[in-house]
Structure 1
C-alpha cells in the first residue's frame, strides 16, 4: 500500500504509486531474461512486431477514434461465431489499468472487496482506494458494492471454473453492484479457453443484470499473452452496450495509439503463436517446477499447469531475499512477494525457455 513514509522501489514513487514488477531489467548490465513478469515465454510475436513497425508510417495521423479495425478483430478472436452481436459490449484501453480505473469510477459508491485468494493483482485495490471505497478484507462474508476477482489469480495461481465463479459473484456482490472479473491469464488455459471464460456467458450476464442489477465486467490485459507490455493494450467486455458507451463517454479520446492497434489487429490472426504457447508453456512450466523442486524440496509451488508463472513459497524470508538478489546478480530477475504483496517469503518466477532456466538454476546453486 502506498504511504507517505514508504521507500521508493526503483522508478516507483511508493508514496503515490502501487508497486509493480518488470522494471529491473533496464538497470542490469548483464541482463539475460526477465523472470519477474508473467509475459509469454515466446516473446513478442513477429507478426505483431512487423505490423507495429509498419504502423509508424501512419503515426503522423490520429488513430481511429472507434478503435477499428482492431476492435472488430479482437471481437472475432473472443467470439469467432457471434462477434458482430458481441462487439458492441467491447472497448479497448491503454492497458487494462486504464479500464480498471474507468470502470471503478463508474461503479456504485460504497464498499469494495477482492477475490477469495491470499492476494491478487493490486491495481483494483489501488483504484478502489483512490475512489474512496471502503475496503473489505478478503476473508469477510460481507457482500460489497464492487467485487474484483482475478481469475486465474496473479500471483497465487488459484483458479475458479465457471460454476464456482458464478457462485462467488452471487455470494459477494450486492444487488445493483459491479463484479469485475479479470481474465487476463485465461487465454493460456488451452485452445478451448473460450468455453471456460465468462465472455461466453452472455445469457447469464444479461439475466443477472435484469434480475439483480449486478453488472459483470470481464477485463483483459493483452500485454501478457502477446508479450507487449510496453505497448499498453487492454480491453473490457461490458454487461451491455450501454455500459460500454458509458465508459467511452469518460475515456480520453485516442486512448489506444496507432502502434498498439496495428499490433493487436495482426496478432489475433497468428494461430501458430498461440498453438506454440498452448503446447509448450505447460511443458516448460513442469520442467521448471520439477527442477526447482529437486533443488529445494522444502519449497511449495503453486498454480495451474497452464499458467505462465510459478508462485513459490520458500517458507523463509531470508532465503527468498537471497534468491531474489542472486537472480538479479545473474541477470535473470525474479519477482519478490515483498513489495506490493507484503508476502516476503514468496517469489514469483515466469515460465521461460529451458536455456534461460539454466542460468537461473545456476545462480541459485549457492542457496
Structure 2
C-alpha cells in the first residue's frame, strides 16, 4: 500500500478515490500562466521566493516575515520539526502520518491523543485541555479539517481550546483541506499570536500536487527558525508562478466550495443507506468509512475489479483494517463508486461473510 494514497498500478481507466484533489482540476487560467512561465526556466528563481512571498503576505494582510513558502506542506512540517528538534509534542490522532515521521526523525518526544468513532473523532475539550495543562508539551499538532476523518472545528472552538492551555504551548494547525470546508480558517487567530503556526498546502484545493507548493504563517520568531534551515531554491519557478496566479480566480474558488459541499452531502446521503457501512460526516473533500465486517483491503480488491481504488486506513494510528477513505470526485465518478459499493454491500455473498 502507498502510505500517501494514490494508485500505483496501471492507471488506465482506474478511478482513484484514494487521493483528495479538487475534482474540478486546476484553475483554468493557471495552465496558460504556466505555459508563459516556461521561458523563465532558463533562469534561477529567487532562493527563497522573496518577491512572491511578499505578494502572498500582502494578500493575507500580514508582514512578509510572518510567511514561509515550502515545497509542499510536507517540507514545512519537517522544517518545523527540525527547527525545534528535541521538543515534546502531543499529536491528535488519527492524523496524516508524516507528523510522527518528521517529529521522530528530529528527536521529539511524542504523545498521542486518541479520538475515536464513538465520539465521531471529535475532541473531548475538557479532557484534552486538562491533559495539555498537565503534560505541558512544547507543541500540539492537529489537522483542521482532519485527515483522514474530515472533522472540522471553528476558529472560536480552537481559540477556546488554546486559551485553556498553558501559554508556553505552540499550536501547529494544518489547514490543508480548509478550502473545502464550511468552517472558516483559523487565520484570524494568528496575527500577533506567538502560539500558532498555520499550515496551508496548495496541492489539494488548487489541484496541483505535481508542483509541490505550500506555505505557513506564524510569528516571525518561529518562521525565522524554520527559514534558517531551509534549503535554497526549495520552491521552483512554476510553483512560484502558480502562487501568484491561483488566488485570482474567485469564481473557481467559489465553484469549488459550492460543488464540494453539494456533492459531499449527496454521496454521504446515498452511502449512509447501505447495510454494513457507516459514513462519518466530513468537512473536507473526502469521507471516512467503517465496515461492520470484513476488511477494507478485501473491499478494495473487489472494487479494483471495477476499476475503482480507495484508501485503506489500517496504517493510521487509531484506525484498523475496517476503515477506508474515499475522495469526493466528479458527479459521474461518484455515481460509479455509489453503484459499486451498493452492489457489493447488498450482495448476499458479502452479507454471508
Task: Say yes or no: TM over 0.5.
Answer: yes
| 1:234-313 equivalences in 2 (<5 Å) | 234-239=214-219, 241-294=220-273, 296-304=274-282, 306-313=283-290
| 1:279-358 equivalences in 2 (<5 Å) | 279-294=258-273, 296-304=274-282, 306-318=283-295, 320-341=296-317, 342-358=319-335
Match of 1:224 in 2: 204
Displacement of 1:348 after TM fit?
0.6
Match of 1:197 in 2: 185
Larger displacement relative to structure 2 (324-333 or 282-291): 324-333
Displacement of 1:300 after TM fit?
1.9
- Distance in structure 1 (CA, Å) of the matches to 2:139 and 2:190: 20
Superposition CA RMSD, Å: 2.2
Match of 2:10 in 1: 28
51 and 69 in structure 1: CA distance in 2 versus 1, 3 angstrom threshold: farther
- Distance in structure 2 (CA, Å) of the matches to 1:262 and 1:335: 31
- Distance in structure 1 (CA, Å) of the matches to 2:303 and 2:33: 34
Match of 2:30 in 1: 48
TM-score, normalised to structure 1, is: 0.81
Structure 2: stretches of 5+ with no match in the other structure: 115-127, 346-353
Match of 1:159 in 2: 152
Indicate the SS of the match to 1:156: coil
Displacement of 1:125 after TM fit?
1.1
Indicate the SS of the match to 1:144: coil
CA contact (8 A) 1:338 1:344 kept: yes
Structure 1: stretches of 5+ with no match in the other structure: 1-8, 11-18, 210-214
Among 138, 149, 152, which residue is 1:145 paired with? 138
Larger displacement relative to structure 2 (140-149 or 282-291): 140-149
CA contact (8 A) 2:300 2:309 kept: yes
TM-score, normalised to structure 2, is: 0.84
Matched, 1:119 2:101: no
- Distance in structure 2 (CA, Å) of the matches to 1:167 and 1:123: 27
Displacement of 1:171 after TM fit?
4.9
| 1:4-15 equivalences in 2 (<5 Å) | 9=1
CA contact (8 A) 1:36 1:333 kept: yes
- Say how many residue pairs are matched: 325
